[in-house]
Amino acid sequence: MVSSVPSSLSAQERAHLVQAVKDWAAANGLAIRPPPSIASQDVDPAGALAIHAPVTLFPSRFPRKCYNQAQSVQESYNELYARISSDEEFLSGLVSELADVDDFVAGLWKVHEKVKAEGYTQDLSLGLFRSDYMVHEHDSDLHVKQVEFNTIASSFGGLSAQTALLHRYLAETEYPLLQQGWKELDVPKSESVEVLARGIEAAFREYVRASNAPEGTVQRPRCVLFITQTGERNIFDQRHLEYQVEKSDPRIPVFRLPFAEVLEHTRVVEGAKRELIYTLPWSREWPQPSEYEVAVVYYRAGYGPGDYPTEEAWQARYQIERASAIKCPTILTQLAGMKKVQQVLATPEDVGGSSIHGRFITGLPDVSSLMGTFTNIYPMDTSPAGLEARKKATDAVLCQDYVLKPQREGGGNNIYRSAIPDFLKSIPETHWGSYILMELITPPPAENIILRNGQLEEGGIISELGIYGTCLWNKEKVLHNEGGGYLLRTKGDKSEEGGVAAGFGCMDSVRLVD
Ligand code: ADP
Ligand code: MG
């Protein structure tokens, strides 16, 4: 067991550290809106309360070699997913295998096809990505293996940067004073906010450069629009990014608009360009509406079926997709993040053998290191590999090493280990092909203390490292590609899922060890 906690931590030391963390978190925005179990609507009708984000008392030990491996492949991953997003034929093939049983994927594809029929008016795409890993022990050597690659609403850039600062602060001020004190801990800063903001800024500047209105026509100010979920509790994470984008010189205006209000407050100027116009909700009537031309749309919503309860929501997605604003992401880029894509990259024989790698991976920098992060993922269709996987998934013993995943984002959708056979029995066999079967990555046992809602939880943990990357591209070239920053998310080792906002996981930082 690798513990990141000093062996002789007294009750008094704990209490002191808890106070230090709570205060630092409030003072520096390492915060979320409280869950209803902590502050219900009655307690906080004005929605004025915030609480520290769940966080570890100590940064978790993490092998330096693994951290470096994950950082070193990020720019390759960015480019890989830019290539996949640009290959409509490839994505179309995968979607057609899934669309019969997956209404959400089918719905997204329908919007894409409708826009394609009238012609996209923006050829640039922006990706704010996060590649997630766990440390895997193989032949007593440690490597990072990819859990998933996020292409939409990659979160925690803001809070992860603050968490690294918190742990660095504690390493300077508090840990050296403990009985079993530590003088120097190697906790890297996380540049995630800067990296993500630079991606948005690159897209914004490119939009402005490419689209100055002819003389004599109205030139509205340009803005970035964050599309948000109503009632979002992880709001300060988003705010950190927003404030960073707004800091750029000259200033870039950023507005937040709930996905459910897109049709009310935006419109498209019909014409060759199809500008997306955002009207400030509070100044519609007089003296004239304050209108902005949206240069970049950044989605922190729209990634799951829950965001599309009505036909209007699909209409809103269509309105943005057909407009000239640079989308982060486009529908094609969102679909490139399907677990099915990750599976096809990991088990390529099923769709034409090496050609998949030839199509996407050849020519990327550091190919062998990139492919070293792949783990075993199988289709659940009726191909030979799929039939093999079905045997594992339906076997009471073999299924223990696997997780079954649908094409969904945002946590809470996966089926683990012994629950897999019964789950498969509960759905029609014709639906099995819309899932993928992934080998569970098993990090070496570790321990830490989590501070959640002011209470401590101590014990075995599992950590997941996320590396951020941004990319701006069109079919011909990549205009911006940067990797960097990190998130360490830690959960109790009894929990399968690791969502921080959902209440399973917590924020953490890496303490690099050799
Ligand atoms: P989502 O899109 O819902 O975030 P993920 O693929 O990231 O889906 O899975 C959710 C969580 O499940 C992960 O954060 C991780 O804790 C756990 N998980 C997923 N795949 C694996 C795996 N192969 N091995 C171990 N844990 C996994
Ligand atoms: Mg995930």
pLDDT single digits (tens) 132-181: 999 998 888 999 999 999 999 999 999 999 999 999 999 999 999 999 88
For the segment 224-239, the average pLDDT, to the nearest whole number, is 97
- Which residue in 289, 299, 282 sits closest to 238, CA to CA? 299
Residue type, 94: L
Question: DSSP letter string over 444-455?
Answer: PPEEEEEEETTE
Cβ contacts of 416 within 8 Å, gap of 6 or more: 403, 404, 440, 496
Q: Which two tokens stand for residue 18?
A: 């808890």
Give the per-residue pLDDT at 472: 98
Between 358 and 318, name the one with better pLDDT: 318
Read off the pLDDT band of 117 (50, 70, 90). very high
Rounded distance from Cα 442 to ligand 2 centre (Å): 16
Residue ranges for the known binding site for Mg(2+) are 148, 150, 409
Q: Look at ligand 1, atom 11, and give the residue with the nearest C-alpha.
A: 497
For the segment 213-221, the average pLDDT, to the nearest whole number, is 77
113 and 186 in one domain? yes
For 236, counting Cβ atoms within 10 Å of its Cβ (0-12 exposed, 13-18 middle, 19+ buried), the class is buried
Q: How many domains does the chain have?
A: 2
Ligand 1 pocket, residue 79 CB under 6 Å: no
Residue with tokens 């679909």: 335
**Residue of 405, 434, 448, 469 marked active site:** 405
Return the ligand 1 atom nearest residue 410 CA.
3
Read off the pLDDT band of 502 (50, 70, 90). low
Ligand 1 pocket, residue 404 CB under 6 Å: no
pLDDT single digits (tens) 441-471: 999 999 999 999 999 999 999 999 999 999 9
Give the per-residue pLDDT at 289: 61
Between 504 and 261, name the one with better pLDDT: 261
Q: Look at ligand 1, atom 19, and give the residue with the nearest C-alpha.
A: 147
389 and 268 in one domain? no
195 and 340 in one domain? yes
For the segment 420-449, the average pLDDT, to the nearest whole number, is 96
Read off the pLDDT band of 503 (50, 70, 90). low
Rounded distance from Cα 414 to ligand 1 centre (Å): 7
Domain carrying residue 391: 376-440
Question: Of 422, 440, 458, which residue sits at a domain end?
Answer: 440
382 and 403 in one domain? yes
Read off the pLDDT band of 357 (50, 70, 90). confident
For the segment 228-232, the average pLDDT, to the nearest whole number, is 96
Residue ranges for the known binding site are 130, 148, 150, 152-155, 232-234, 238, 300-303, 339, 405-414, 416, 438-441, 464, 489, 491, 497, 500-501
Euclidean distance between CA atoms 154 and 409, whole angstroms:
10
For the chain, the average pLDDT equals 94
Residue 352 has pLDDT above 60, yes or no: no
Give the per-residue pLDDT at 182: 82
How many other CB atoms sit within 10 Å of the CB of residue 247?
A: 12
Asked whether 320 and 263 are in contact (CB, 8 A), the reply is: no
**Residue of 75, 79, 148, 174 marked active site:** 148
Rounded distance from Cα 123 to ligand 1 centre (Å): 32
Which ligand has an atom closest to residue 401 CA? 1
414 and 478 in one domain? no
- Which residue in 20, 106, 96 sits closest to 55, CA to CA? 20
- Which residue in 192, 193, 152 sits closest to 465, CA to CA? 192
Asked whether 449 and 457 are in contact (CB, 8 A), the reply is: yes
Between 189 and 502, name the one with better pLDDT: 189
pTM, two decimals, is 0.96
Read off the pLDDT band of 218 (50, 70, 90). confident
Between 433 and 214, name the one with better pLDDT: 433
Active site residue 275: no
Question: Of 391, 409, 440, which residue sits at a domain end?
Answer: 440
Question: DSSP letter string over 457-474?
Answer: EEEEEEEEEEEEEEEEE-
Give the per-residue pLDDT at 350: 46
387 and 261 in one domain? no
Active site residue 130: yes
Between 76 and 285, name the one with better pLDDT: 76
The gap between the terminal CA atoms of the chain, to the nearest Å, is 16
Give the per-residue pLDDT at 2: 86
- C-alpha torsion sign, points 455, 456, 462, 464: positive
Q: Where are the alpha helices (DSSP H) in 59-156?
A: 64-72, 74-85, 88-98, 103-118
Rounded distance from Cα 146 to ligand 2 centre (Å): 10
393 and 264 in one domain? no
Read off the pLDDT band of 284 (50, 70, 90). low
Which CATH number do you get for residue 411? 3.30.1490.50
Which ligand has an atom closest to residue 403 CA? 1
Which ligand has an atom closest to residue 411 CA? 1
Q: How far is CA 341 from CA 42, 203, 287, in A?
A: 45, 25, 51
